[in-house]
Amino acid sequence: MDFNNTELAFRSKSAADLRRSYLLFSALNHQWLVKLGELLVRLSFFLRLPIKGIIKKTVYKQFVGGETIADCTPTVRHLLQYRIESILDYSVEGKIRETDFDRTTELTLQTMAAHSKYPHLHLAAFKCTGLARLELLEKMSRGDLLNSSESDEWDRAVARMQRLAKYAKKEGCGLMIDAEETWIQPAIDQAVNQLMREFNTESCVIFTTVQLYRTGRIEVLQKELNDAKAGGYLLGVKIVRGAYMEKERERALKEGYPSPIQPDKQATDRDFDRAIHLLTEGLGTPQTPTGNALVIGTHNELSTQAGVDALEAHGWTPGHAPVWFSQLYGMSDHISYIVASHGHRVAKYLPFGPVQEVMPYLFRRAEENTSVAGQTGRELRLIQQERQRRKKAH
């Protein structure tokens, strides 16, 4: 796959789109500017300064579909023209009230309801911290006993997940549960595992997420495959490298336990490749599919190519395997467009939510784009290459 084919990669982008992305990624390339921007935005919201308009036209436009599901419609349609699915994602984070958890549940249900308008969309997603309090997930994960009010609180969180899973099953939609920090992940894994056993009996409704920047995940995946087979249910997995590396390492150092993160990037990359091989093998073949399904969530070109090659090696023709290559909206669009143009299933997380509420998501994207070595540089190089190509062509 030629990821340098910018004509194909950016064929949906106007000159103005490319210019806007170029300016934005240029700014994101400077860590001091990102830090300053974050500070100014926080201060402006605190002082109630009218900055919503500026944000909406810049960073929000690059990475977010809109404030509501309806706002996302033009983007969903636009991406579908290029055979790219959207995963509508209510990206409001850090909430602690039960009413907020109920609201996130309602909005996630609505993302799946929107699928009836677009039969080509197959996936939805949520974060457990959107449905339950972080401290509760942490306490559960430590194995501490919950008091009776906490027990009720957990029951309500499980009921929310059950509602979402039931609806996903009814709508024939795959529902991915994001992976988060290691100190809350045991509670998430336990809940997701229960959902898989209950709902993945005929098809993959529930997708767990495994972060390959953690050590020992290949053994975990092998166990997941064995447990699913023995337990008579199907395994849906989204694999990612992992988004909380710095935070994880800092906490481990501070609290004096061994870091749960791989020693270096190479080790993460090696396990990501191994996971691709293990899980594509776990799909069976086109003649004898197991029913398992996979989402490869990455902006890495080599991993994407490894996924494509592994499917081919198992005899799958493009688009026929229950596998999605997935990226975040506004990031690595060249991968999404090129992989989709080869006939593979591609789905982009398309966040939505009120501007101020989505800011934590946007700050993370901004930080990720400054900290992930090489990625912003790659975006800039490709955009520049395409702008020059167009200039020459005229």
Ligand X SMILES: Cc1cc2nc3c(=O)[nH]c(=O)nc-3n(C[C@H](O)[C@H](O)[C@H](O)COP(=O)(O)OP(=O)(O)OC[C@H]3O[C@@H](n4cnc5c(N)ncnc54)[C@H](O)[C@@H]3O)c2cc1C
- Residues forming contacts to ligand X in the complex (CB under 6 A) are 178-179, 209, 211, 213, 240-245, 261-262, 264-265, 268, 297-300, 303, 326-328, 349, 372, 375
Nearest CB to ligand X, comparing residues 6 and 303? 303
Query: Quick one: which H or E segment has residue 313?
Result: helix 301-313
Pick 19 or 265: Cβ nearer ligand X: 265
CB 305, min distance to ligand X, A: 12
Least distance in Å: CB of 330 to ligand X? 11
Nearer to ligand X, 153 or 309 (CB): 309
Q: Minimum distance between the CB of residue 210 and ligand X, rounded to whole angstroms?
A: 9
- Taking the least distance from each CB to ligand X, the nearer of 91 and 268 is 268
The least CB distance from residue 1 to ligand X, in Å, is 16
Read off the DSSP letter of residue 287.
S
DSSP string, 209-221: EEETTBTTHHHHH
Q: Token digits for 69?
A: 């599901």
Cα 342 off chain centre by: 22
CB of 362 to ligand X, least distance (A): 15
Largest CA distance in the chain: 71
Distances in Å between the Cα of 62 and the Cα atoms of 17, 24, 58, 365 are 9, 8, 6, 10
- DSSP category for residue 201: S
CB of 299 to ligand X, least distance (A): 3
Q: What is the DSSP string of 236-281?
A: EEEEE--S-HHHHHHHHHHHTS--SB-SSHHHHHHHHHHHHHHHHH
Long-range contacts of residues 136-140, Cβ cutoff 8 Å, at least 24 apart: 136/187, 137/184, 137/187, 137/188, 138/183, 138/184, 138/187, 140/186, 140/187, 140/190
Q: Which is nearer to ligand X, 129 or 211 (CB)?
A: 211
Beta carbon nearer to ligand X, 141 or 327 = 327
CA distance 110 to 176: 15
Give least dist CB 352 to ligand X, A: 15
Nearest residue (CB) to ligand X, 53 versus 59: 59
Judged by CB, which is closer to ligand X: 75, or 209?
209
Q: Please identify, using beta-carbon distances, which residue of 13 and 299 lies nearer to ligand X.
A: 299
Q: Least CB distance from residue 165 to ligand X, whole Å?
A: 17
- Cα separation, 169 vs 272, whole angstroms: 29
At 4, list the tokens: 């340098």
The nearest distance, CB 11 to ligand X, in angstroms, is: 21
Type of residue found at 32: W
Distance CA(270)–CA(306), nearest Å, equals 11
Q: Can you tell me whether residue 7 is helix, strand or coil? A: helix
